[in-house]
Copies of this chain bind each other. A is one copy, B any other.
Amino acid sequence: MIAVDWGTSSFRAYRLDDSGQIVDRRSASAGILTVTDGGFAETLENHVRDWFDSGERVLLLSGMIGSRQGWKEAPYASAPAGAEEIARALVPVNVRPGIDGWIVPGVVTVNADGIHDVMRGEETQILGILHDLGPGSHTLCLPGTHSKWVEVQHGTITGFRTFMTGEVFAVLKDHSILGRIMNSSAPYDRQAFADGLHRSADASGLLHHLFGVRAECLCGDLDAERSRDFLSGLLLGHELRQARGNAVVNLLGAGVLVDRYAYACEVLGRSTRILDPDAVVAGQWQIARSRRLV
């Protein structure tokens, strides 16, 4: 089968053999925002025509390709949702005659406060690492522009919360008075980051803490070199203190951002395990099997 992870800014395709192992892969910067006039089928053909021509018949697509801005909107499956529920909610898509094409839906949850939360793409990654997690209940964190904290129980996504931390940091850095007082290209200052994490413990709230970054600079206790990472730690500290779940946090991701989350968890007394972020292929394989497509 062909597994495609098609997001806002990237396109990744994988060819899998009969046991779900990757035998070939392609990637391009052909994210859904670069596709004009709904030319999703053409874009797909441009990248994997030879796989179709050589006999692949099953195609799964996950990520923002199933959003309103994508190829076809795939309505969210409701949590609790595991591979079976997500497979049942697959949405068919016309690729070319003879191809069994499906879009993986996102997942929606309604939190205790009656407010919706949504994910799209992450559900497939999560299904892909369930085997590594083992049975029982687990807390997962997927760092990103909008980070997800997910509860998994016996192979099912039971609930989750999204935090806008990454985007709030970016807009404050690029567009607020806090950005104007910081040196955005300063080297990473781990102590400043830790100071921000500790600062978040104070009870007077994020909106006050944010002004504190400016006040501390005016009073000489922070400077242009340290304030960016202090702000980063402050925001991440607020996220971690609000994110509930088990003492062990399973981090799904790679790179600098995951390293920061791991360090922040450690500082705030939670242990971490870092899991393979490329689990999306294994997740699509699980879904395809649940639907008996492979």
B-binding residues in A (CB < 8 A): 108, 111, 113, 115-118, 146, 161-165, 167-168, 171-172, 174-177, 199, 202-208, 210-212, 215-216, 218-219, 221, 235, 238-239, 241-242
Complex Cα gap A216–B113 (Å): 12
Complex Cα gap A172–B172 (Å): 9
A207–B235 touching, CB < 8 Å: yes
Number of copies: 2
List 19 A-B pairs, Cβ < 8 Å.
A113-B199, A113-B202, A115-B202, A116-B215, A116-B218, A117-B212, A117-B215, A118-B215, A163-B205, A163-B211, A164-B210, A167-B177, A168-B172, A171-B172, A171-B175, A171-B176, A174-B175, A205-B206, A208-B242
A204–B242 touching, CB < 8 Å: yes
A67 to chain B, nearest CB (A): 9
Complex Cα gap A68–B175 (Å): 21
Q: Indicate whether A205 sits within 8 Å of B117 (C-beta atoms), given known contacts A108-B219, A162-B211, A211-B163.
A: no
Q: Which residues of B contact A165 (CB under 8 A)?
A: 207
Complex Cα gap A165–B154 (Å): 41
B211–A116 touching, CB < 8 Å: no
Q: Indicate whether A207 sits within 8 Å of B164 (C-beta atoms), given known contacts A118-B219, A216-B115, A219-B118.
A: yes
Complex Cα gap A212–B175 (Å): 22
A28 to chain B, nearest CB (A): 24
A215–B161 touching, CB < 8 Å: no
Q: Which residues of B contact A113 (CB under 8 A)?
A: 199, 202, 204
Which of chain B's residues has its CB closest to A199's CB?
Answer: B115
B115–A218 touching, CB < 8 Å: no
B116–A212 touching, CB < 8 Å: yes
Complex Cα gap A116–B117 (Å): 36
A242–B163 touching, CB < 8 Å: no
Complex Cα gap A177–B216 (Å): 29
Which of chain B's residues has its CB closest to A218's CB?
Answer: B118
Given contacts A113-B202, A117-B215, 7 further A-B contacts (CB under 8 A): A113-B204, A116-B218, A163-B208, A164-B176, A174-B175, A205-B239, A206-B207
Q: Which residues of B contact A111 (CB under 8 A)?
A: 204
A116–B171 touching, CB < 8 Å: no
Q: Indicate whether A211 sits within 8 Å of B164 (C-beta atoms), given known contacts A202-B113, A202-B115, A216-B116.
A: yes
A203 to chain B, nearest CB (A): 8
Which of chain B's residues has its CB closest to A117's CB?
Answer: B215
Complex Cα gap A53–B108 (Å): 72
Complex Cα gap A61–B168 (Å): 36
Q: Which residues of B contact A235 (CB under 8 A)?
A: 207
A199 to chain B, nearest CB (A): 7
